[in-house]
Amino acid sequence: MADRSNPGSWLPWLGLALAIIIADQFTKVLILGYYQLGDSTYVTSFFNVVRAHNTGAAFSFLAGASGWQRWFFTAIGVAAAVFIIWMLRSHAGQRLFSFALACILGGAIGNVVDRLMHGYVVDFVQLHWRGWYFPAFNVADSAITVGAACLILDELLRVRKTN
């Protein structure tokens, strides 16, 4: 149910999204400034910092396309941002739901900024274990993942409450 008793209550969620965008872009500026494409720094037995460019979506989906995917994924990100802001305004009183949306919003905009500025998304977190490497990702991707997990949790809690 919407919480319209406090019309400004959705603004803190926009603040969280903005903090995610700033953290995401700050870390990417550091990577772009200190690493060349493909450079990697061993940190632990399961974690490297690496500079990678992703012209596709999650797990490099459509990365090999001819370039149209840049604008396609940018448009999806912008459309998602508009929809999420509308949802935040309508459901700001639902804390877990709004937290999830704010995380997804910040991550989506962080990656849209990359696509607009560079034509690709800058990734730099690389997890690995015994020769297996997870695709590199960034702060924006992490925020989207946390947000998606919180959306699932929110729905599970909502369904449980109604039973």
Q: Which residues are catalytic?
A: 123, 141
Instruction: Give the DSSP H/E element, type plus range, for residue 115.
Output: helix 95-118
User: What's the DSSP call for residue 163?
Assistant: -
User: What's the DSSP call for residue 58?
Assistant: G
User: What's the DSSP call for residue 136?
Assistant: P
Instruction: Give the HSE-up count for residue 128: Cα atoms under 13 Å, Cβ half-sphere.
Output: 18
Structure tokens at 123: 């990734």
Mutual orientation of helices 95-118 and 139-162 as an angle, nearest 10°?
150
- Residue ranges with strand state E in the chain: 40-44, 47-54, 121-129, 132-133
